[in-house]
Amino acid sequence: MPKTVGIGITGGIAAYKIADLVSRLKKDERDIDVIVVMTEGAARFITPLTMKTLSGREVLTDIWAPSQEWKVQHIGIAEQLDLLVIAPATANFIAKIACGIGDDLLSTIVLANTAPLLVVPAMNTNMYRNAIVQENIKKLVNTGINVMEPATGVLACGASGEGRLPEVESIYEQITTMLFPRTELLGKRVLVNAGTTCEDIDPVRFISNRGTGKMGYAIAEEAASRGADVILVSGRTHLAPPPGVKVISVWGAEEMCNAMLKYQPACDIIIGAAAVGDFTVARAAQQKIKKTGNGDQTLVLELVGTPDILKTLGARKQPGQIMVGFAAETENLLENALHKLAAKNLDVIVANDITMEGAGFAIDTNIVTIIDRNGEITALPKMTKRDVATAIIDKIAALL
């Protein structure tokens, strides 16, 4: 049975990239019908004629235009959709959705829409990081709307940072996943940890690491998209919670370990993707440590080890439970990964050399090698962290 996707294009420079997205959807062999709706701003960046040619049907732009197909245009369109996508989604249009404003054709369709909604932000880095924009995005997520994380890189304005439209291939894959969901993990409960842990020095300062949570959040989202009941134990991160995932927020390594132990008995699959700090301060100060002198003060911290979360869980592993860990290394990648695989009683370990360009922390890509307990080694090329998450969940599904 054909699926109908509404592609809402708003007025951002990335609008031109949506031509490729529409083309890919129309070429999909699973019979996807595409209805393109453009705002007035979008039509200044790319013409409706281009989208009409690629989609094979009239492009809708005017809320007041008479319609031969629908008695009430925005209601009729909304009722026909299996999925509505807003890409690129500008800060202005995100605010409209968050506030329930309907002042043009696309925004009224959003209000009338009952199908799943996917919002793909794209804008200048400072605009994306603006506190009000972030609050609006959180509001969308909290109401069950799917919001893709923007990519990081050089923007059209010349700045470099967050705010780029994700690669068209990633958007296409997200759309097809939502239209044709995979169900290999239906009925399974997955426990994932992500983000970085923080250890207090005093009430103001803490020690941490470079982890951002991007890899773990991508894994949680991918598992949920395949039908799993996902619990995400998250350390510090700036990321919005993945839709449909239960998030448990923690601060330090011990708190994260306790949370993981609490949920372990009820879970079929456990994936340790968090950047857990190896050390904590032996005696954190109860009051802020004051700076004295002219900057020549010396502060000595006594550090002690934190719990090895995966090793602790591995010792309590239940029959049939699958455990996956990560090995972020700077040398002897395979040797260190194989040692951790055995020592922590894991079924799979995902190893990456964080010194390689395109791998490591705070970027959208990774380069990993997946090793299982049977000794099978799969080296993957550089790919997005969401694609790495797909490969990891594929591996787990094969083990099941």
Q: Do residues 72 and 212 both lie within one domain?
A: no
Considering 179, 204, 236, which residue would you say is the last residue of a domain? 179
Residue that finishes a domain, picked among 141, 158, 179:
179
Q: Which residues are registered as beta bridge partners of 191? A: 231, 270
Residue 383, φ and ψ in degrees, nearest 5: -150, 170
Tokens of 202: 């005093």
Q: Does residue 74 lie within any of the structural domains? A: yes
Q: Which amino acid is at 393?
A: I
Q: Angle at which helices 18-27 and 48-55 pack, to 10 degrees?
A: 10
Q: SS3 for 180?
A: coil
Q: Each residue of 106-164: pLDDT tens digit?
A: 999 999 999 999 999 999 999 999 999 999 999 999 898 999 989 888 877 777 888 89
Pair 164, 198 in one domain: no
Q: Please indicate, yes or no, if residue 184 is contained in any of the structural domains.
A: no
Give a yes or no: residue 21 inside a domain.
yes
Among 48-52, 196-200, 224-228, where is mean pLDDT lowest? 224-228
Is 257 an annotated catalytic residue? Answer: no
Shared domain check, 199 and 151: no
130 falls within a domain: yes
Both 58 and 201 in one domain: the answer is no
Quick one: 165 and 198 in the same domain? no
* One-letter identity of residue 23: S
pLDDT-derived band of residue 349, with 50, 70 and 90 as boundaries? very high
Residues 151, 88 contacting (CB under 8 angstroms): no
What's the maximum distance between 2 C-alpha atoms anywhere in the chain? 79
Looking at 179, 212, 229, the residue that finishes a domain is 179
Any domain includes 342: yes
Is there a domain that residue 292 lies in? no
Asked if residue 205 and residue 128 are part of one domain, the reply reads no
In order of 143, 183, 244, the CA distances from 227 in angstroms are: 20, 5, 10
Q: How far apart are CA 372 and CA 350, in angstroms?
A: 9
What gap in Å lies between CA 302 and CA 280, rounded to an integer?
A: 8
User: Tokens 């409209």 map to which residue?
Assistant: 96
Amino acid found at 234: S
Instruction: Check pLDDT > 80 for residue 223.
Output: yes
Say how many Å lie between the first and final Cα of the chain, rounded.
Answer: 30
Cβ atoms of residues 190 and 268 within 8 Å: yes
Q: How confident is the model at residue 319 (pLDDT cuts 50, 70, 90)?
A: very high
Q: Are residues 353 and 257 in the same domain?
A: yes
CA–CA gap between residue 216 and residue 230 (Å, rounded): 12
Structural domain including 386 reads 189-286+297-399
Residue 316 lies in a domain: yes
In a domain, 282, yes or no: yes
In this prediction, residues 289-306 reach a mean pLDDT of 87
- What CATH number did the domain enclosing 257 receive? 3.40.50.10300
Task: Tell me: do 227 and 312 sit in the same domain.
Answer: yes
**Residue 275 burial (CB count, 10 A):** 23
Q: Which of 61, 25, 32 is nearest to 44 (CA)?
A: 61
Q: Are residues 235 and 143 in the same domain?
A: no
Tokens read off for 157 = 């304005």
The verdict on 310 and 344 lying in the same domain is yes
Whether residues 142 and 216 fall in one domain: no
Structure confidence by residue, pLDDT tens digits, 152-173: 888 777 778 888 999 999 999 8
Three-state SS at 162: strand
> pLDDT tens-digit profile of 68-98?
888 899 999 999 999 999 999 999 999 999 9
**Inter-residue contact 248 to 235 (CB < 8 Å):** no
Kindly report the CATH number assigned to the domain that includes residue 158.
3.40.50.1950
Q: What is the pLDDT of residue 244?
A: 85
Same-domain check for residues 212 and 78: no
According to DSSP, residue 60 is labeled B
Query: Does residue 207 carry a pLDDT above 80?
Result: yes
Which tokens belong to 26?
């129309």
Spatial CA neighbour of 260 closest among 310, 218, 324, 304 = 310
| Number of folded domains that form the chain | 2
What global pTM score does this model have?
A: 0.70
Catalytic residue (one of 99, 157, 257, 267): 157
Specify which residues 83 forms β-bridges with. Answer: 5
Phi, psi of 3 (to 5 degrees): -110, 145
**Exposure of 320 by Cβ count < 10 A (0-12 exposed, 13-18 middle, 19+ buried)?**
exposed
Task: List residues bridging with 146 in a β-sheet.
Answer: 118
- pLDDT at residue 45 in the model: 96
